[in-house]
């Protein structure tokens, strides 16, 4: 069964600190892995996207890593800001049956406190 | 370039009723997919439309149906609403045929409450 699991479920950090979110997946076939940021009641916004051949991808203070062998990914947030408070969702794309299917993790809810 | 627009933003319906949610695709995109997101959960894939036809479907019953129009906008219809249908419904548009790393643009969603 295609699954994407994220940890921790929730996280509280102080402003200015770094944090790392984890994503493990069992999806086949694998096309790419994306990290999204979702503010409460809003649609997800893309942060990074990586294919199996990419090990790391940065977008400002966000750095994603991918280990296609162990099927693990991480999202590292540097020098956190209050506006980073949101859910971070790991999404794996699988191409099968003639179309791309997005398999979402449940997300990590990050709260950044002053 | 316009993003993805969903309407309405919030909706309250009674169990057993029918509902239609609407989505306007991002300019240049030709594919629309719909997702159901329960509170505190990740989105679950409902179905996808390409060239006005459903070309992929998740584990949702037939009372969830959709349409895609020639301008690539889309509708999600849910019949015989149940309390468990209460969720945030997200629409995402994308471009099929581009390089593999094409992006999905999500709308802000419609919050449906079934009472």
| pLDDT greater than 50 at residue B20 | yes
Residue B51's pLDDT band (boundaries 50, 70, 90)? confident
State the Cα–Cα distance between residues B91 and B74, nearest whole angstrom: 9
What phi and psi, each to the nearest 5 degrees, are found at residue B43?
-60, 145
Secondary structure letter of residue B84 according to DSSP: G
Within 10 angstroms of residue A31's Cβ, the number of other Cβ atoms is 17
Residues of B with Cβ-Cβ distance to A4 under 8 angstroms: 42
Per-residue pLDDT reduced to its tens digit, A62-81: 999 999 999 999 999 999 99
Q: Which of B33, B58, B101 sits opposite A49 (nearest CB)?
A: B101
Interface membership of B46 toward A (CB under 8 Å):
no
Query: A45-54, B3-12, B59-68, B94-103: lowest mean pLDDT where?
Result: B94-103
pLDDT at B97: 62
Residues of A with Cβ-Cβ distance to B100 under 8 angstroms: 31-32, 51
| pLDDT greater than 90 at residue A95 | no
| pLDDT greater than 70 at residue B37 | yes
Strand pairing category for A62-67 and A56-59? antiparallel
| pLDDT greater than 60 at residue B98 | no
Do A11 and A17 form a contact (C-beta atoms < 8 A)? no
State the Cα–Cα distance between residues B95 and B102, nearest whole angstrom: 7
Per-residue pLDDT reduced to its tens digit, A23-66: 999 998 898 999 999 998 889 999 999 988 899 999 999 999 99
Q: Which of A41, A44, A101 sits opposite B56 (nearest CB)?
A: A101
Within 10 angstroms of residue B10's Cβ, the number of other Cβ atoms is 11
| pLDDT greater than 70 at residue B42 | yes
| pLDDT greater than 90 at residue B94 | no
Nearest to B49 by CA among B27, B25, B28: B25
Interface membership of A99 toward B (CB under 8 Å):
yes
pLDDT at B101: 45
| pLDDT greater than 50 at residue B99 | no
User: How many CA within 13 A on the CB side of residue A105?
Assistant: 30
Beta bridge mates, A26: A3
Share of chain B above pLDDT 70, in %: 93
pLDDT at B102: 61
What phi and psi, each to the nearest 5 degrees, are found at residue A19?
-155, 160
Interface membership of A40 toward B (CB under 8 Å):
no
Interface membership of A114 toward B (CB under 8 Å):
no
| pLDDT greater than 80 at residue B96 | no
């Amino acid at each position: 069964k295609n699954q994407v699991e994220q940890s921790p479920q929730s996280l509280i950090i102080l402003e200015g600190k770094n944090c790392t979110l984890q994503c493990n997946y069992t999806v086949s076939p694998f096309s790419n892995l994306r990290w999204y940021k979702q503010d409460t009641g809003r649609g997800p916004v893309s942060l990074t996207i990586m294919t199996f051949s990419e090990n790391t991808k940065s977008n400002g203070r966000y750095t994603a890593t991918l280990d296609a062998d162990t099927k693990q990914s991480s999202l590292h947030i540097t020098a956190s800001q209050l506006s980073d408070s949101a859910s971070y969702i790991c999404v794996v794309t699988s191409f099968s049956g003639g179309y791309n299917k997005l398999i979402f993790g449940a997300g990590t809810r990050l709260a950044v406190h002053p | 370039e316009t993003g993805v627009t969903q309407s309405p933003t919030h909706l309250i319906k009674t169990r057993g009723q029918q509902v239609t949610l609407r989505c306007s695709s991002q300019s240049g995109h030709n594919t629309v997919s719909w997702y159901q997101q329960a509170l505190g959960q990740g989105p679950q894939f409902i179905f996808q439309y390409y060239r006005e036809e459903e070309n992929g479907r998740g584990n949702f019953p037939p009372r969830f149906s959709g349409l895609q129009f020639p301008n690539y906008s889309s509708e999600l219809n849910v019949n015989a609403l149940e309390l468990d249908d209460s969720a945030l419904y997200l629409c995402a548009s994308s471009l099929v045929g581009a390089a593999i790393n094409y992006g999905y643009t999500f709308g802000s969603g419609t919050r449906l409450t079934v009472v």
